Amino acid sequence: MIILGLDPSLSCTGWGVIRAHGSRLAHVANGQIKTSPKAAMAERLALLHAGIAAVIAEHAPARAACEEVFVNENPQSTLKLSQARGAVLAACGAAQLVVNEHAARLVKKAVVGTGAADKKQVAAMVGVLMPGTRIAGADAADALAVAIADAHLSPIA
């Protein structure tokens, strides 16, 4: 089964595609979609939607996984994250993909062993679980972690 992991953000959305066969996992692809803070909001959201739609078209995942939304101390940051997440999830919906959602702490616990892991720990463990993988950046590592956690936490359908 091919699983698309997503780490939505308005500035840089990470994505990671893995193949799960039983308990064996293999890296397929990963990347990041960056938007310019100078661009209009609608343009940035359209770029995220189109980018994820292209990833789905290229890799044909059976399902997707995304971190649940969390509330930042800054309401504007939460709103921007929610808008980016909406664009990314809309791309999945347009492709008729089921999207599993997991809490960030649960993803970190499933991949690293502790829900309090930082980005460096997550990236390092993704590297251990998928040796030889060239990871496009921290957001791509987080997206791969979401896909890995989903493979372990969600039943294969």
Residue 99: which CATH number? 3.30.420.10
Nearest Cα neighbor of 54 from 19, 9, 13, 20 is 13
Please count the structural domains in the chain. 1
Report percent pLDDT > 70 for the chain: 96
Question: What pLDDT is attached to residue 79?
Answer: 85
Does residue 48 contact residue 87 with C-beta atoms inside 8 Å?
A: yes
User: What range does the domain containing 40 cover?
Assistant: 2-153
Residue 67 falls in the annotated catalytic set: yes
For residue 67, which phi and psi values (nearest 5 degrees)?
Answer: -70, 145
CA distance 80 to 95: 23
Tokens of 154: 């969600």
pTM of the shown model: 0.93
Q: Which entry of 43, 67, 68, 101 is annotated as an active-site residue?
A: 67
Q: Is 22 exposed, middle or buried (0-12, 13-18, 19+ CB in 10 A)?
A: exposed
CA distance 150 to 138: 18
Residue 142 falls in the annotated catalytic set: no
Question: What pLDDT is attached to residue 22?
Answer: 81
Residue 150 falls in the annotated catalytic set: no
Q: Name beta bridge partners: 19.
A: 2, 26
pLDDT band at 155 (very low <50, low <70, confident <90, very high): low
Q: Which entry of 58, 68, 73, 139 is annotated as an active-site residue?
A: 139
Better pLDDT: 22 or 17: 17
Q: Which entry of 7, 73, 142, 150 is annotated as an active-site residue?
A: 7
Better pLDDT: 123 or 157: 123
